[in-house]
Amino acid sequence: MKEAESESIEDIVLRHSGRGMDILRGYKTDRYAEEAARTILSWEKGRVFLTTGFFVAGFAETDGPVGTLFLAKALQKLGYKPVILTDEFCKGFFESEGIQVLYMPFDADLDWCMTQLGTYTPVGLISIERCGENAAREYANMRGVSITDKTAAADLFFRIALGIVPTIGVGDGGNEIGMGNMASIIEEKLSLKPCVVTVDQLVIATVSNWGAYAIIAYLEKLSGVKVFMDFEEAKAFIKKTVEMGSVDGVLKKPIVSVDGFGMEIEKEIIDSLGAAI
C-alpha cells in the first residue's frame, strides 16, 4: 500500500513499459508531465493546436485520438480554444465531440502551415502520437517502414514554431514529434532511427494516450477544475473510432484495444490516475 501511495503520475503512465520508455525516463526530470501541465496553464487563453493521427495498415491507430480528445476537452473547460490538427485517416472522429478540427492535406507545404499559423495564431502546439521526420527525411513506423506518402507533414508546424510558440510532444516509441529531444539517446539505447523534430517539452509514456492522460491529471490537480475523464468515457470513444475504422497499432486489427493493451489495462491506468489526483 505504501508503495502504491508514493507512486507518481509519471510512474503510473510508465507501467507495463516494453519499448524502452522506462529507459528514457532516466534521462528526464522526475515530474516531466507536471512541468508540461504547468506550462500549459501559463499560456494565454487562446487557441491551442493539438495534432494526432498515426497511419497503421490503411487506417489511423487507436493510440492518439482518445488522449487528444480528452486533453482538448480539458483545455476547453479551462478557457482555451482547442483545434485538433489531423488528416483524413481521422475523418469524422472529433466533430460530434464539439471540438474544432483542421484537416491537413497530404501535400500541404510550409506555405500552407504559415497560412494556418497566421489565421489561427495558436498560443501553444501539442502533439500526441504523431509521426515526425527522421534524419533521412522519412516518416517511418516502428518497424522502420516508410509511411511518408500516408502522413501529412504536421511536424512542419513544430519546426516553424520552435522558439516562437510553445511546443509539447507526447510519444511512446521514438518516431513521434518531440522525440528529437532525445534522438541520440534513442539511437544508442533503443537502436531505433528516431524522429529528429524537437519540442520545448517532451512527455513520454508506455502508451501515448496515457501521456496525454498524465497531463490532464496534472491540469486538474494544479487548477482545481474537474477536467479528468473516467474510464467509461475513454472506452466509449475508442470504441467509436474503431467502428469508424481505426486499428490497434500493434495488433493491426479493428478491435477495442490500444498498442496491444486491452481495456482492463486502460481502466487500471485511468483509475490509478484518478486516485493520484
Residue 1 confidence class, pLDDT cut points 50, 70, 90: very low
Tell me if 79 is assigned to some domain: yes
Mean pLDDT value of segment 190-215: 96
Tell me if 118 is assigned to some domain: yes
Q: Which of 86, 90, 120, 118 is nearest to 103 (CA)?
A: 86
Nearest-angstrom CA–CA distance, 70 and 60: 17
Domains identified in the chain, total number? 1
pLDDT per position as a tens digit, 100-116: 999 999 999 999 999 99
Nearest-angstrom CA–CA distance, 117 and 105: 15
pTM over 0.85: yes
Tell me if 141 is assigned to some domain: yes
Distances (CA, A) of 130 to 68, 71, 267: 11, 15, 24
Q: How many helices (H) and strands (E) does the chain have?
A: 11, 8
Q: Determine the longest span between alpha carbons in the chain, in angstroms.
A: 55
Nearest-angstrom CA–CA distance, 192 and 209: 21
Return the amino acid letter for 163. G
End-to-end CA distance of the chain: 17
Tell me if 277 is assigned to some domain: no
Nearest-angstrom CA–CA distance, 210 and 204: 9
**Which residues, in sequence order, are CB contacts of 260 under 8 Å at separation 6+?**
248, 250, 251
Residue ranges making up the domain that contains 154: 2-271
Report residue 165: phi and psi, to 5°: -115, 135
Q: Is-contact 67 126, C-beta < 8 A? A: no
CB atoms within 10 A of CB 246: 29
pLDDT per position as a tens digit, 209-245: 999 999 999 999 999 999 999 999 999 999 999 999 9
Mean pLDDT value of segment 156-174: 96
| Strand, coil or helix: 157 | helix
The pLDDT, as a whole number, for residue 2 is: 38
The pLDDT, as a whole number, for residue 5 is: 53
* Cell triple for 120: 489561427
Distances (CA, A) of 70 to 76, 144, 184: 10, 30, 32
The pLDDT, as a whole number, for residue 270 is: 98
Query: Does residue 119 carry a pLDDT above 70?
Result: yes
Tell me if 7 is assigned to some domain: yes
Q: Is-contact 18 206, C-beta < 8 A? A: yes
Mean pLDDT value of segment 75-97: 97
pLDDT per position as a tens digit, 47-77: 999 999 999 999 999 999 999 999 999 999 9
**Which residues, in sequence order, are CB contacts of 8 under 8 Å at separation 6+?**
30, 31, 276
CATH of the domain at 155: 3.90.1640.20
**Which residues pair with residue 51 across a beta bridge?**
85, 127
Report residue 81: phi and psi, to 5°: -120, 90
Going across the sheet that includes 81-86, the strands are: 100-103, 81-86, 47-51, 124-128, 167-171, 201-204
Mean pLDDT value of segment 139-150: 93
Residue 6 confidence class, pLDDT cut points 50, 70, 90: confident
